[in-house]
Amino acid sequence: MPNLDVVLDVPVQLTVRIGTSNLPMREVLRLESGSIIQLDRTADQPVDLLVNSKLVARGEVVVVENRFGFKLTEVIRGGAPAPV
């Protein structure tokens, strides 16, 4: 087993993605406060956890002391490239 100590303090970017949407630029320019964008997932589907743009887990959004959190429900083995 290689010594992982050399990489344990390397920062990585975590992203929790609740869904995506494709809009023409015309509609993006019309967005304003209060606009609603329909995402490609239903409310009961798990959200994705990405590490440096690689899908590593799925889970659900939770509220912890008035802040959003993420509860893992599934770990993706192999770190699949995140679907766009």
Q: Say whether pLDDT at 80 is over 60.
A: no
- What is the full DSSP assignment across 14-80? EEEE-------HHHHHT--TT-----SS-TTSPEEEEETTEEEEEEEEEEETTEEEEEEEEEEEEEE
What predicted TM-score, i.e. pTM, was given to this entire model?
0.76
Which band of pLDDT confidence, cut at 50, 70 and 90, is reported for residue 78?
A: confident
Q: Say whether pLDDT at 42 is over 70.
A: yes
Q: What does the pLDDT read at residue 2?
A: 73
Q: What is the mean pLDDT of residues 65-82?
A: 85
Domains for the chain: give ranges and CATH numbers: 4-81 (2.30.330.10)
Sheet harboring 47-51: ordered strands across? 14-17, 47-51, 54-64, 67-81
Higher pLDDT, 60 or 78: 60
Q: What is the mean pLDDT of residues 39-68?
A: 95
